[in-house]
Amino acid sequence: MTPVEPPPTAWVLPDPSQAPPDRELLGVGADLRPGTVLAAYRSGLFPMPLRRRGPVGWWSPEPRGVIPLAGLHVSRSLHRSMHRFQVTYDTAFEEVVRACGDPRRPHGWITPAVRRAYVELHELGWGHSVEVRSVDGELVGGLYGLQLGGLFAGESMFHRATDASKVALVALVDRLGTAGSPGQRLLDVQWSTPHLASLGAVEVPRSTYLRSLADALLLPPAL
């Protein structure tokens, strides 16, 4: 599906290239309409509520977490796990977002408003999910994010079976890496955590991320 460009945002969003290096939260408020969210990602921002019932914050981490497509770490045990699952794409987007936003998960930030916003972006062709299923078709893991040209902005992942979320990430990286121009494609994970670092995530300066983003946005999408 060719993504449908929504009406432009009515808001003037902060410019991450002008932000002080010690500041990651660059704005609060605005809305989660498709045009606003897409404008944010194109400028290097992403939305995340300050609290489950609080206003939306617009973030630009310093440094930024990314996963180089050639730098994914796949252990032997993970490689074996991949044969225990089936992988699908864009067959259960809202179900994946709901699972990622389960309020029982610690530090949850995916509010109903966030879920609705990303489902609408999926319906417009911008949001994508990777589903990991058991051999009998049960959804046991996955991830979702937005794709803008050669940028895939990973939002969240979940698992109900060991290694299922990791399998989703491996499948995504493989898909992005075989789409052409892999060195210029950008897999954004926002902040690098110890878990993501174990899979190959690295931290890059905000300025480096913004330069890579400008190049990635010129590429055709992979999904």
**Domains of the chain and CATH, by start:** 64-216 (3.40.630.70)
**pTM listed for this prediction:** 0.95
- Arithmetic mean of pLDDT over the chain: 95
For the cut 90, the answer to whether the pLDDT of residue 127 exceeds it is yes
CB 34 within 8 A of CB 64: no
139-148 and 64-66 as β-strands: parallel, antiparallel, unpaired? unpaired
CA distances from 108 to 8, 197, 217 (A): 29, 20, 29
Give pLDDT, residue 133. Answer: 98
Report the 10 Å Cβ neighbour count for 52. Answer: 13
Q: Compute the distance between CA of residue 220 and CA of residue 119 in angstroms, rounded to an integer.
A: 22
